[in-house]
């Protein structure tokens, strides 16, 4: 199978626009957009001074977002290159540029190399060394630790969650190199938020993951009890982590209001995770997935509003 994909399946003829679209797809735009939002929010709320338009703090946020986008594009390309055979075996990924023969393996490797060098150079020149080192560590962890682990152990999810939360740390370091407890707290919240999200996806696509040889928790433990239990525990931990930024607010500010609103969002997440744990069917998994996708931007907006008015 692998020989046939690489050697006997030439890249399909495509227009310049089609090839450009395929390269854009390598960056995983939807995931990258969410990552960029998280990076920007982390950079803003970690900054000792709220970044006003045109200030040094404002440009620090822009620079870390641009640089991290390029590094993330490289990491996503490495991921697609290493998973090109398993992607071919699963309907949800079979239309990606490599298994669909819209790009060659060489195209993807060149793109990964160029975006990595460009991203690291950009961060090194226009951000600080702390954010640059953090970006490189994230790239290695995602592309060369997490990705190979997916075919070996269900612990890949834990490693993937760390890699997924690292960009927030990079954003915080860009505006506050001392990395105060607040940056660590935001990292912790995002780390735990990912598990219910991942468990829902792992349940919905467990048959495809099995076919692709990926050792997700729902494949190695097919009843879904372990996945449901992990979703509930980490949803509670997300709740706890979401309250940590209250230390960033001034004592004169109504901290109780932030706690109440953040807790309302977290209860929504916890309740949906509990429903998934109890029923473990397609309906509860899809609902958990939708709630996880809504929860993060809503929480980020809430955090930005409170930090802005508390500064």
Helices (H), ranges, the chain: 2-7, 16-26, 29-46, 56-82, 84-89, 105-126, 129-140, 147-149, 156-175, 181-204, 206-212, 217-220, 225-242, 255-279, 282-310
State which residues form the domain around 45. Answer: 1-179
Is there a single domain that holds both residue 146 and residue 215?
no
CB within 8 Å of 47: residues ≥ 6 apart? 57, 60, 61, 175, 176
Q: CB atoms < 10 A from the CB of 188, how many?
A: 18
* Domain match, 107 and 208 both: no
Digitized pLDDT (tens) for each residue of the chain, 311 residues in all: 443 454 445 677 667 888 899 999 999 998 888 889 899 999 988 888 878 888 899 999 999 999 999 999 999 999 999 999 999 999 999 999 999 999 999 999 999 999 999 999 999 999 999 999 999 999 999 999 999 999 999 999 999 999 999 999 999 999 998 877 667 778 899 999 999 999 999 999 999 999 999 999 999 999 999 999 999 999 999 999 999 877 766 666 678 888 999 999 999 999 999 999 999 999 999 999 999 999 999 999 998 888 777 65
On whether both 238 and 305 belong to a single domain, the answer is: yes
Q: Are residues 14 and 32 in the same domain?
A: yes
C-beta neighbour count of 281 within 10 angstroms? 12
d(CA 149, CA 160): 9
Same domain, 246 and 150: no
Closest CA to 263 of 189, 162, 166, 182: 189
The CATH number assigned to the domain holding 45 equals: 1.10.357.140
| CB neighbours of residue 44 within 10 Å | 23
CA 69 – CA 60 distance, rounded (Å): 14
Looking at the fold, whether 62 and 186 belong to one and the same domain comes out as no
What is the number of domains present in the chain? 2
Question: Would the pTM of this model clear 0.75, i.e. be above it?
Answer: yes
Neighbours of 239 (CB within 10 A): 19
């Amino acid at each position: 199978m692998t020989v046939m994909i690489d050697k006997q399946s030439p890249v399909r003829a495509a227009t310049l626009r089609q090839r450009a679209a395929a390269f854009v797809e390598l960056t995983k735009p939807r995931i990258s957009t969410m990552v960029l939002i998280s990076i920007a929010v982390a950079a803003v709320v970690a900054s000792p001074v709220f970044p006003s338009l045109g200030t040094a703090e404002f440009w620090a946020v822009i620079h870390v977002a641009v640089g991290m986008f390029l590094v993330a594009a490289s990491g996503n390309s490495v991921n697609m290159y290493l998973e090109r055979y398993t992607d071919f075996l699963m309907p949800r990924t079979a239309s990606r540029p490599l298994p669909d023969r819209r790009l060659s393996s060489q195209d993807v490797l060149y793109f990964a190399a160029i975006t990595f060098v460009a991203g690291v150079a950009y961060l090194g020149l226009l951000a600080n060394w702390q954010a640059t080192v953090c970006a490189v560590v994230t790239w290695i962890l995602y592309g060369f630790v997490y990705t190979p682990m997916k075919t070996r152990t269900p612990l890949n999810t834990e490693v993937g969650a760390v890699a997924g939360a690292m960009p927030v740390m990079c954003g915080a370091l860009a505006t506050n190199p001392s990395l105060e407890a607040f940056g660590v707290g935001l990292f912790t919240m995002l780390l735990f938020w990912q598990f219910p999200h991942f468990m829902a996806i792992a349940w919905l696509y467990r048959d495809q993951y099995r076919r692709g040889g990926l050792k997700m928790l729902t494949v190695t433990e097919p009843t879904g009890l372990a996945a449901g239990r992990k979703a509930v525990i980490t949803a509670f931990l997300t709740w706890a982590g979401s309250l940590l930024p209250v230390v960033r607010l001034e004592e004169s500010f109504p901290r109780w209001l932030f706690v109440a609103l953040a807790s309302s969002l977290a209860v929504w997440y916890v309740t949906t995770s509990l429903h998934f744990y109890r029923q473990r069917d397609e309906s509860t998994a899809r609902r958990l997935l939708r709630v996880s996708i809504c929860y993060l931007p809503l929480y980020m907006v809430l955090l930005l509003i409170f930090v802005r008015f508390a500064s």
